[in-house]
Amino acid sequence: MNNTLELLLNHTSIRSFTNQPLTEGQRDEIFKVANQTSSFSLLQAVSIIRITDKELRKKIMQLSANQPYIEDAAEFWIFCADFNRNHQIAPKIDLEYIEYLLIGSFDAGIMAQNALTAAESMGLGGVYIGGIRLNITELTEILNLPKHVVPLVGLCIGHPAGEKPELKPRLPQSMVMFDNQYQPLDEEKLRTYDEQMREYYRNRPSNAPFTVKKVNGWTDHIEDHLERSRLPFMLEYLNKQGFAQK
Ligand SMILES: Cc1cc2nc3c(=O)[nH]c(=O)nc-3n(C[C@H](O)[C@H](O)[C@H](O)COP(=O)(O)O)c2cc1C
């Protein structure tokens, strides 16, 4: 197996960091890799806000369900879909179509993943923070984000502290990848996966995502996760930022 495959197959989120900072060289390399990511029609509709101010970091942690690693990580970067740049270049284009938000969200996601992979390749670790969207209006204000910019996900990066967490099992290939046509849910395979996850969380409760309150299987908390992820204010917020009107 080559080094890239080995790295990717050994991914686990890291939520515990030493206080060692990244070198400027490490930071620059992670940024360069992120910035070289594919971009829809080369629109380059992503900006990263790097949070270096301690007080601001604390405030963002509080707005993001008090996840402590936001403060502990050496680096905390917020990936934003950003059409403000494009809008200034082409002010006549109507950006209210939801497709623009899809474009920016996808570009931000793959850029963040390349940043995380680059960090992991240097022996660093990290975790995404979708929790930054829990109080997105306030976050938008404190980051001074203009219209046509939406913060989508945070990324903690740092030197891992303690043991590397065990790999978190994923759904089997036959439930995720289909030949030619979509396939119905296979209940039996789901039960097998569920048991695998129950076993995993039984041994490693600290690896549960921050929304998982009980150590249980996968299907047990899907409903809970979906419920918590709803964010009913989101459409109004996106409209205010100039997106998703049509
Ligand atoms: C978009 C996105 C947002 C996430 N947000 C959070 C978060 O706010 N807090 C957290 O602890 N983990 C967060 N995670 C990490 C996931 O919980 C984690 O990737 C998942 O449980 C699988 O674990 P693994 O990455 O260790 O394999 C997020 C992951 C993604 C892709």
pLDDT digits (tens, 9 = 90+) for 86-113: 999 999 999 999 999 999 999 999 999 9
> Which residue's CA is the closest to the ligand 1 atom numbered 21?
209
Q: pLDDT band for 209, please (50, 70, 90 cuts).
A: low
CATH 3.40.109.10 maps onto the chain at 3-164
Please give all residues whose beta carbon lies within 6 A of any atom in ligand 1, as ranges.
Answer: 11-13, 15, 67, 127-131, 153, 168, 209-210
Q: Which amino acid appears at position 145 of this protein?
A: L
Mean pLDDT of the chain: 94
Q: pLDDT band for 207, please (50, 70, 90 cuts).
A: low
Q: Among 8, 9, 13, name the best residue to mutate to test ligand 1's pocket (greatest count of ligand atoms within 8 A of Cβ).
A: 13
Pick left, alpha or beta for residue 123 (phi over 0 → left; psi -120 to 50 → alpha; otherwise beta): left
Q: Among 110, 127, 229, name the best residue to mutate to test ligand 1's pocket (greatest count of ligand atoms within 8 A of Cβ).
A: 127
Q: What is the pLDDT of residue 242?
A: 98
> Which residue's CA is the closest to the ligand 1 atom numbered 31?
128
**Distance, CA 44 to ligand 1 centroid (Å)?**
25
Fold of 3-164: NADH Oxidase (3.40.109)
